[in-house]
Amino acid sequence: MPYASFVAPAMLATSAMNGVVFDMVFMLFFKLRYNKIYESVLNTPLGVRDIAIGESAWALVRSTIYATSFLIIATIAGFVHSWWALLAVPVAVLIGFACGSLAMAGTTWMRTHQDFDYLNLVLMPLFLLSATFYPLSTYPPSVQWLVQLSPLYHGVTLERDLMLGYIHPGLFVHAAVLALVGLLGLAIASRRLEKLLPLVAIR
């Protein structure tokens, strides 16, 4: 296949991850550490889990916008080879859910804005080592298992196979991994927010 058609789905998955993660980290950090908006929210009938779910839902809206825009451009450029690519947008939302939930959980440990430097230390290896530019088979066997631990790898594989029209049962496994990662991140974020927000003990 043309190399551009191989890389384009990976760029879609990466854009879904980066857009949601950067938005989630900066937005959540300033709301949590400076604006103190969540304390006000907790004075309403909403609880901590509602906050976590709400932030995650808004991240999914942004992920949908990013993915739709990217898919339109990729289609015009001739990088889409199957009608199955229509499912690339829901998959991008799933990628946004998984990565956004992990980002939300990680942000709860950030103390100052200097901790933002650690974000690139996480995202860059994910970007380079998630079968983004080369097939998994090109990695040494000792590294392949590490690549498959990356949630972005599962997102890239899903997007690539859908846009190329390669449909197989393994796609459900990749989708399930992303969903489980997202639920795990959401659970961790909820627990962490319960510890950080002072009004939770009243509820």
Query: Distance between CA atoms of 97 and 177, rounded to whole angstroms?
Result: 12
Query: Distance between CA atoms of 157 and 175, rounded to whole angstroms?
Result: 10
Structure tokens at 136: 């998994």
pLDDT at 203: 42
Those residues whose C-beta lies under 8 Å from the C-beta of residue 29, and which sit 6 or more positions away, are 107, 110, 113, 116
Those residues whose C-beta lies under 8 Å from the C-beta of residue 174, and which sit 6 or more positions away, are 154, 155, 157, 158
Where in the sequence is the domain holding 104, given as residue range(s)? Answer: 3-202
Q: pLDDT band for position 26 (50/70/90)?
A: confident
| C-alpha separations of 162 from 2, 46, 59, 138, 195 in Å | 16, 39, 23, 21, 41
Those residues whose C-beta lies under 8 Å from the C-beta of residue 52, and which sit 6 or more positions away, are 104, 186, 189, 190, 193
Task: State mean pLDDT over 173-190.
Answer: 92
Query: Distance between CA atoms of 156 and 135, rounded to whole angstroms?
Result: 11
Query: Distance between CA atoms of 6 and 96, rounded to whole angstroms?
Result: 21
pLDDT per residue over 38-79, tens digit each?
777 878 888 888 888 888 788 788 878 888 888 999 999 989
Which has the closest alpha carbon to 182: 96, 109, 118? 96
pLDDT per residue over 111-134, tens digit each?
888 888 888 888 888 888 899 998
Q: Which of 22-31, 68-77, 84-93 has the lowest mean pLDDT?
A: 22-31
How many CB atoms are closer than 10 A to CB 196?
A: 14
| C-alpha separations of 6 from 86, 93, 115, 129, 161 in Å | 17, 20, 34, 15, 10
Q: Which of 112-116, 125-129, 139-143, 199-203 has the lowest mean pLDDT?
A: 199-203
Calculate the average pLDDT of the chain.
86
- Which residue, chain included where needed, has tokens 């440990």? 109
- Number of domains the chain is built from: 1
